[in-house]
Structure formats: C-alpha cells, structure tokens
Structure 1
C-alpha cells in the first residue's frame, strides 16, 4: 500500500527530532517541517488539470528557500546537482513506463538507492545531500506529471508513491551519516585506548 513507508518513517523521524535531537531552533524547525509535511499529504488541489498535493508544494517552497540561503557557488552547485536528480528521477519513471520489465524489484527501493548514490557522489555535507535529493525528486515528480498530461494520463503529483521514495531516501541518507559518525567514534575510542596502553607500557 503506497504511503505506508512515508508515514512510518516520517513518524519515526519526527519522534527522533522531537525527543532525541539536541535542544535548539534546528530541532524545532525539523519537527515542524516533518509534521506539516504529513498533515499536508492528505490535501491536494487541481491546477490546470494537474492534481498536486499540498505536501509537494510545501516541500518545494522549503527547499527553494534553503537553497536560496546558501552562499553563491554552493547554491549554484546544489541547484545543478538537483537538476541531475530531477533527470534521474524522470528517466527512471520513463524507463518503467515504456519498459517495466527492467524494474527487477521494489520500485521505491531502486529509485531511493539511485538518488542516495548520486547525492553521496555529488555532495560531502549531509544538508546539501538532503537538499539535492528533496528538490530533485519533487521537481522530477512535477515534470513527470506534466509529461503524462500531454497523453491525457492523470498522474497525481506528490502523492504517496513520491512521498515513499522521499521518506526512504532521507532515512537511508541519515542512516549512512549515523554509521559514519559511529565509525568515527569507535575509531577515536580505539586510538584513545592505544595511547593509554602506550603510556602504561
């Protein structure tokens, strides 16, 4: 059932951001953003024969604002990387549309791993990786909906299938970042133990 992955993962992320993140403005902003995205996901509007969810509009406005706050060159690079994500998202869906046989397993997993792989290759910072994936996927879903409209196919933009991909991609990225931090902590701890042994000897 489409949308289940989105609600489960976003609720888990909301619990983490609300109760486990360090206190501060950042925690409040993340918690509010997650909650509003879930609330807006059940509402949609019709615009020029396109069915668009409020959550996709909210997501796009948020990432455009955050990209706009980056310094000039960082913003340009993030915008370019989001275009790469957009094209990857579109091409994946077009391949699936014209030749669905090549989708070997779960579409949501395949697309999420593709987007995360590109984000890891293109950016070093977690924040920029998240911005590139979110903006690229949201814009890609918009363009895909507009493309299908030319063939009189109604494609609801920003609906559960898109939100599942987005939620899974964000969770995978956060998981990678968490494992990286854990490995660094273990490495530092081992180095500290090694130094202690050398002092004792």
Structure 2
C-alpha cells in the first residue's frame, strides 16, 4: 500500500475542510482541489520526466497561490531556495551514505522542511505554499541530478505524495498548536490583569 498515507491524509484534510471549517468560497476551492488531486494521483504525464499529475497540480497551484499572496519578495525566494536545497541534500546524502538515516529519507526531508518553514514564517497559508513548492522543486532537482545514474524515473510518485500530504497535516497541527498556545497566553494575561486590579 504505497499510497496509504497519501489517501488517508488527503481524505482527512478533505473532511476538515468540508465539515469543520467555516463555509467560505476558499473552503469550497480547497475541497475541490483535494478531490481533484486524489483523482489525478493515478495518472502520469510524460514530459522531460514522467510527472505524476497530482504532483504537477501541487506545483502549479502552489506557484499560482504564491503569486496571489504576493510571495515574490527576495526573502521568500531565499527561503524557497533553502527548502529546495534541503530536500535535495537529504535525498542525495541518503543515496550516498544511507547508514546515517534512522528513518526513511522522505520522512527526514519532510521533518526538516516543516521545521524550517515553521521557524521562518508565521502565516499558515504562506507556510503551506513554501512547503509545497520546496517539496515540488526539491523533488525535481533531485530527479534531475540522479537521472544519469537511475535512468528514466517518475517524479512526484506516491512516495512523494505520501510525504507531502503528511507534511501538510504536520504544518496544520503546528499552526493549530500555536494558535491554541496564543489564546491560552492571552487568557492568562487577562486573568492576571484582573487579579491585579482586584488587589
């Protein structure tokens, strides 16, 4: 079940957006994106590489949404390039010396990119865009580098989709945790102010 994590992660995200989030146009767009992505995941597109259609959808929509959010500043470009380099480095290092990896390289890459993304950006939407684009471009760079050794290979297969979808859920969890911690902090400040006034 190579695609197990991907399908379960995407269905989980679809349930969240469809039944839990507020009813907005953005929610509908995200729900449609998730369902379309699941449908496209079984198709490949033959270009210079064999690209998974769901991977290509992630890449294109990530680029479009980055433009919509105005993420064309130098800071975002540098963060994006850092994420791409981190992804490619993890995979190439795992290929060169796999004995250093306790967990699978794809999970190591996801954890690293999630931590980097969450540490440099506070806005969840921008975190998501940076993460997805970093994963997409990193996969492309890695595939381009090793194509002479491995020959023709599929880019953005289920191994990548598993990692990407799990990383999105991890980012979502971090975002909700930060939001909850912020709310608790604000409530504690208010209670402290109230106690000070009473005294």
TM-score, normalised relative to structure 2: 0.90
CA contact (8 A) 1:59 1:134 kept: yes
More deviation in 64-73 or 173-182? 64-73
Note the residue ranges of structure 2 that are not aligned, 5 or more in a row. Answer: none
CA contact (8 A) 1:87 1:140 kept: yes
Q: Counterpart in 1 of 2:6?
A: 6
Residue 153 of structure 1: how far off its partner (Å): 2.4
Q: Counterpart in 1 of 2:61?
A: 62
SS where residue 51 of structure 2 aligns? strand
Q: Counterpart in 2 of 1:177?
A: 175
Q: Counterpart in 2 of 1:136?
A: 134
CA contact (8 A) 1:85 1:136 kept: yes
Note the residue ranges of structure 1 that are not aligned, 5 or more in a row. Answer: none
Whether 1:91 aligns to 2:89 is yes
Q: Per-residue CA shift, 1:122-175, capped at 9, x if unaligned?
A: 222111111111001101111222222222523210111111111111111110
CA contact (8 A) 1:41 1:54 kept: yes
CA RMSD of aligned residues (A): 1.9
Give the paired residue count.
199
TM-score, normalised relative to structure 1: 0.89
Residue 97 of structure 1: how far off its partner (Å): 1.0
Whether 1:127 aligns to 2:125 is yes
